[in-house]
Amino acid sequence: MLLQPRGAGADLEYATVVRGSQIQSAEASGWVRAEQSAELGWKTSGIIGEVMVSAGEHVEAGQTLSILERNSLPTGVILAQANLVTAERALNELKTSRLQQARAMKTLEEARQAWEDAQNPVVAQANAQNAVAVAQKELEEAERLLKITASTPSEAAISQANANLLLAESAYNRTLKDIERIQKRLSKPESAYMFFESREFYQRILDSLKQKEIRDRRAYEKSQERYNQLLEPVDPLDLAVAEANVIGSQAAVDDAQRKWERIRDGYTPGDLAVLEAQLKDAEREWERLKAGPDEGDLLAAEARVAAAQAVLNQVEIKAPFSGVITRLDVQPGDQVSPGSRAFRLDDLSHLYVDVMVSEIDINRLQPGQKASLTFDSISARSLETDAGQGGAGSAALAEYTGSVVEISQVGTQVDGAIHYQVVIEIDQPDTLIRPGVSADAIIQVKEYQDVVQIPNRAVRYLGNRRIVFVASLGQPQAVDLKLETITAEFSQLVEGEIEPGDRIVLDPPDWLMAGLKP
């Protein structure tokens, strides 16, 4: 389009009609994200023994990133190793079915022996007397543990816990004062620094102090919790468990005593009937297990192995997928607890821009359409610098390309209007594009080739008529047109007596419209 200067007499602005190509587009903005992202944290407590990666490092799926010191782990996690060994052994034995078969055989033998003993009650009476003695010993042990649980802590233990709390509080307060002091130095203008000072130097000190503040705060909270526990009365739950153990042991004594009293004078017909029924049950169980292990028992054993392994897996953090460590929040020696953040992992092999498109434009979009992308954080100058070209470069934003890969089927209300999420995959992303940066997208909806282009500024509406004014020897003449809007600047000529090269008035004044009818 060629703009003509306003005529000195007519004071009109003209444009020359041309034939060419135009691209219809839809504009939107959004943010960059990686194909996969994960916040990795700890699921148990302990002290970090080793960190195997650094920020910016590429890792493979399954690679170990960090591990806790084993002597700092909770008892439940430490015991999980033994539980895993036991569960795996039980599973292996089930799969071979030898142990289960052997136990069934042993039960059968015991049932047969009990039935034979019933014919000779002297042996059974001796066993019953021994069972009474064993149950009585277990009762005495349960009563001893109950006495320990119900007792209150000593004054020496409380005094030591209080001293530990004061030391932890003092260390925590010193760290807070050090942080405040360094923050004041950071707030000073660099012109006020001595020759050996720098903002980077103080920032590194501050970062280190913030990590120390986390450790000192946790140590203080732990000391306070321990001190409060000693001051509190006996835990009702622990006491209830100890009392329940005593009750259970007493019940075992009573049961053993009843069995002894029942057979002290020999077996009754009812006892013989029970022993005979137990023998038949044992025979049926043996017949069932001769063919191999039960499927339900196998599934239960596999579940116990998986549960123990899941607890052991809490000792370390592994990469769930291949990607780049984009944030590192831990270092060796840190005290962590369940939920503590450790790493952020992003798969940067494919980057996407999530944009929100108005409902007005959404039905014109479809997967595969190309898009041009710009980022406020990336200029053409920074792109040339990253490529190693140097030079002054350009202050304009660098332009990237992408393709629409996904269009949401459900809209979201944003500021009173309905928008749809559209996902654009970035073609050949470089290291300058990072997850989280803002992006502007121009999606190419349709390309018009070899069309006569009419500037929208030249069109006036009169009822259902669309009119432009074509330059002539005298006053510009009104010409009716049929148009199809392409962009905000141009429309395509569908029908009308106008040709490329004609000069038409831009922003026609009202006096040109005088005398025209709708």
| DSSP-based three-state secondary structure for 150 | helix
Lowest-confidence segment of 299-303, 375-379, 393-397, 422-426 by average pLDDT: 393-397
Lowest-confidence segment of 74-88, 259-273, 318-332 by average pLDDT: 259-273
Residue bearing the bigger pLDDT, 394 or 181: 181
Tokens representing 302 are 């596999």
Q: In this structure, is the dihedral angle defined by the CA atoms of residues 275, 277, 279 and 281, taken in order, positive or negative?
A: negative
Q: Which of 118, 91, 500, 511 is nearest to 276 (CA)?
A: 118
- Tell me which amino acid residue 176 is: L
Return d(Cα 77, Cα 8) in angstroms, integer.
Answer: 91
Tokens representing 412 are 């979201």
- Tell me which amino acid residue 47 is: I
Interior/surface letters 292-314, b for 16+ CB within 10 angstroms, e for the rest: ebeeeeeeebeebbeebeebeeb
> Which residues are CB-neighbours of 290 under 8 A, at least 6 positions away?
101
- Rounded percentage of the chain residues whose pLDDT exceeds 90: 32
| Res. 4 pLDDT band, cuts 50 70 90 | very low
Return d(Cα 186, Cα 206) in angstroms, integer.
Answer: 9
Tokens representing 260 are 């002894």
Segment 360-396, tens digit of pLDDT: 889 989 999 999 999 988 876 555 555 555 544 455 7
Phi then psi for residue 361, to 5 deg, are -100, -15
> Which residues are CB-neighbours of 447 under 8 A, at least 6 positions away?
21, 22, 23, 24
* Rounded (5°) CA angle 337-342-345: 145
**227 near 127, Cβ under 8 Å?**
no
Segment 305-359, tens digit of pLDDT: 888 888 888 899 999 999 999 999 999 999 999 999 999 999 988 999 999 998 9
pLDDT attached to residue 5: 41
The answer to whether residue 45 scores a pLDDT higher than 60 is yes
pLDDT attached to residue 2: 41
**50 near 320, Cβ under 8 Å?**
no
Segment 431-456, tens digit of pLDDT: 888 898 999 999 988 888 888 989 99
pLDDT attached to residue 3: 42
Segment 140-156, tens digit of pLDDT: 988 888 887 777 777 88
Query: How would you classify the pairing of strands 58-59 and 323-328?
Result: antiparallel
pLDDT attached to residue 7: 42
